[in-house]
Amino acid sequence: QVQLVESGGGLVQAGGSLRLSCAASGRTDSTEVVAWFRQGPGKDRDFIGLIRRDGYKTYADSVKGRFTMSRDNAKNTAYLQMNSLKPEDTAVYYCASSRLVVPATTANHYNYWGQGTQVTVSS
């Protein structure tokens, strides 16, 4: 089992920045890929991006150029730096992990999920 704990959410004005963290504990060999998703009110859970242990990354078009993922494998922690935030970025943000190296962008691929952290961007 892997436990994922997100932190760093909050309220920010449009144009501002936040950095989310996703700390893993337990079977950290199941964090080969760490993905980020978000779910706005009344919306589906959408893929934001993923980062693999070897550093491979991919982003959704909606956040490309504004969001940056990184990870510190020694600390078993992944990060999502969010810049130039917009009101439409308001959502609960989740990190998820998988032990498989396939860089999947669908939520049902991921076995482990954090509890989510709320990000609210005011206009």
Are 96 and 35 a contacting pair, CB within 8 Å?
A: yes
Cα distance between residue 37 and residue 86, in whole Å: 16
Q: What's the residue count for the chain? A: 123
DSSP state of 84: S
- Look-up of token digits 């993923």: 50
Kindly list the averaged pLDDT for each block of 10 residues, start to end, along the chain of length 123: 95 98 90 95 94 96 97 96 97 95 92 96 96
User: Strand 117-122 and strand 10-13: pairing?
Assistant: parallel
Cα distance between residue 23 and residue 60, in whole Å: 22
User: pLDDT tens digit string along 88-105?
Assistant: 999 999 999 999 888 899
